[in-house]
Amino acid sequence: MWTLFASLHENGTSLGGIMFDDIGPNHRQGTAIFEDAFIKVPPAGELSPVAWVRRMRFWTAVHEIGHSFNLAHSWQKALVDNGHGPWINLANEPEARSFMNYPFNVAGGQSAFFANFAFRFSDNELLFLRHAPGKFVQHGNAIWFDHHGFEQAAVSPEPALQLELRVHRPDNTFAFLEPVDVEMKLTNISDEPVLVPDTCLQDTDGMTIVVKRQRDDARQQRSFARLCLKSVKVVLAPGQSMYGTVPVSAGLDGWNVDEPGRYLVQMALHLDGEDLVSNPLALKVDPPMDRAVEKLAQDYFSDDVARVLAFGGTQVLTGANDVLEEVAATLAGQAPARHAQVALGRPYTIDYKLIVPDFSEALSGAGDGSGGPTARIEVQAADPARAKAYLDSALLEEPEAAAEALGHIRYKQEVDRFADTLAEQGDPEAAADTLATLQTTLEARNVRPSVVAEVAARQEAYSRAVR
C-alpha cells in the first residue's frame, strides 16, 4: 500500500515536493514534484520572478531526490526519532548551502542562502552518497524517520514572525488521562515592528494543528467550538512575543492523545496569506499506573468527557461529570485530577442558564401547535462554596503542582477567574489571598515580570477593597 504524507493545510493546495512512503516500514520509495504550489509564487519585490520560480523548481526537485537517497535535512542529520538515526553519525549543518537545507532557514534568509549557493550537496552529504553502506542509500532500504507534513505551507522566504510550541515541563511527559494543552509563542524575529491580529492565537479557524502518535497516521486537531472574534491589529516590536494555549488531546474528530506513547505536535498559523510553521513538539504519555486507571479510561475517552473538558465544565452532561469525579478521587493530587476538578468547579462560579423542555403542554394538546414540547430558561445561581471546594484543591493547595499541570497561561486564567468570582460574591479578602498565591507561584516559575506585575496590581486592588 502507498500513502502520501501531505500537510493537512485547509486550502488544499499542493506540496512543492514530497516523498512516497511505504505505509508499513516507512521506507522512502520515490519522489513527486508539484509545480502548482508555493514554489511558483515569488516573494514580493523579487527582481527576477521568472528566474526565481525556475530556480525553486530545480532546488525542490533535487531536494526531494536527495531524500529518496535517505539524505536528511541539513538541521536534522543528528535526529534520532523512534529509535532510528542518526545514520552515519553526521553532525547537523543548519547553515549549510546545500540542496538539503531550506533557503529561508539560514541566517539572513533566502537572499543570504542563494548569494553563495553552489547548487550542490555539502561535503558530508556527498561522502554519505558515495561511501555509506548500500542499504542506507538504496531507495526503500533504510527506515526513514521524518516526513514533510507542512511543506505545502505558504512560508515566506524571510519570515518576520516565528511560531514556537512548548510545554512547561522538563521532559515533555504527560500522565495517562492528562489533557494536553500546548503553549504557543509568537515572536517578531525581524528588525522592524510587525502588525498582527490580537486574536490570532485564539482563533482556531486560522490554525492547522496536526497530532501524530508514533507509528500511527497523523490526525488533524479540530476544535469543538468556532469563536466569533473581533480582532484589532496590535504592534509586535522586534523581539517581542505574544502567547496563547491550545488543547490538542481531543476535538471534533475524536481523541488524538488517548494512548501511552510518543507523539509529535505541529501547527501552521495562517496570517495574512502567509503560513507560520511551528517547530515539531515531541511529547510522551506515560502508561497507566494500574488496572483501575485502565478501567477508568474506558469511560474517560468519550465524546462527552472531551467536550466537558474543552468547554470548561457542565451542569448538564452528568454522566461525564460522574467520570470526572471518579478521576478526581482515583488520581487525587495528580495532574489528571486537577483538570477534572477545574471542569467540575467552574460551572458553579457563575449563574448557569439551562434550557428545560416542558412536555406537559404537548401532552395536553396545548403549546405552540407543533405537537412538540415547549422550553423555558431556568437560571441556577452560582454556588461559590461548591466551586471553592473543587478549585481550592485543584489550584491553590499545591500551587506549584497545579501550575505544572495546567501550564502557566491556563493556570493564570483559572486563578484569575476564581479570584473574580470570590470578589463578586462579596469576599474580596479571599480574592486577594488567591491572587497572592498566584503571584508567588508565577514568580517562582520565572514567568515574565510584566505578567507578575499585572497579578500584583490586581491583588493590591482587592486588598484595598478589604481595608
pLDDT of residue 217: 77
Q: Give dist(CA 302, CA 248) in Å, integer.
A: 15
Amino acid code (one letter) for 369: G
* Sheet strand arrangement including 161-166: 161-166, 181-188, 241-247
pLDDT of residue 310: 94
Backbone angles phi, psi at 422, to 5 degrees: -60, -40
Q: What is the dihedral of CA 59, 64, 69, 73, to 10 degrees?
A: 80
DSSP 60-107: HHHHHHHHHTTPPPTT-TT--BTTB--SS-PPP-TT--STTS-GGGST
Amino acid code (one letter) for 49: P
On whether the pTM is more than 0.85, the answer is: no
pLDDT of residue 3: 28
Q: Confirm if 319 and 304 have CB atoms less than 8 A apart.
A: yes
pLDDT of residue 238: 95
The superfamily (CATH) of domain 159-287 is Immunoglobulins (2.60.40.10)
SS3 content of the chain, % helix, strand, coil (to 5): 35, 20, 40
Per-residue pLDDT of the chain (467 residues; tens, 9 = 90+): 222 233 322 232 333 444 444 333 444 567 777 777 667 778 777 888 899 889 988 998 899 888 888 888 888 777 665 555 565 567 889 999 999 998 888 888 888 899 999 999 999 889 888 887 776 777 766 655 555 555 555 666 678 999 999 998 888 999 999 999 999 999 999 999 999 999 999 988 889 898 989 878 788 899 998 888 888 999 999 999 999 999 999 999 999 999 999 999 999 898 887 888 888 899 999 999 999 999 999 999 999 999 999 999 998 899 999 999 999 999 999 999 999 999 999 999 888 888 888 766 655 555 555 556 688 888 888 888 899 999 999 999 999 999 999 999 999 999 999 999 999 888 999 999 999 999 999 999 999 999 999 999 999 999 988 76
Residue 434's Cβ-side half-sphere holds a number of Cα atoms within 13 Å equal to 26
H helices of 290-398, in order, are 291-300, 303-311, 318-330, 335-345, 360-364, 384-391
Strands 241-247 and 181-188: antiparallel
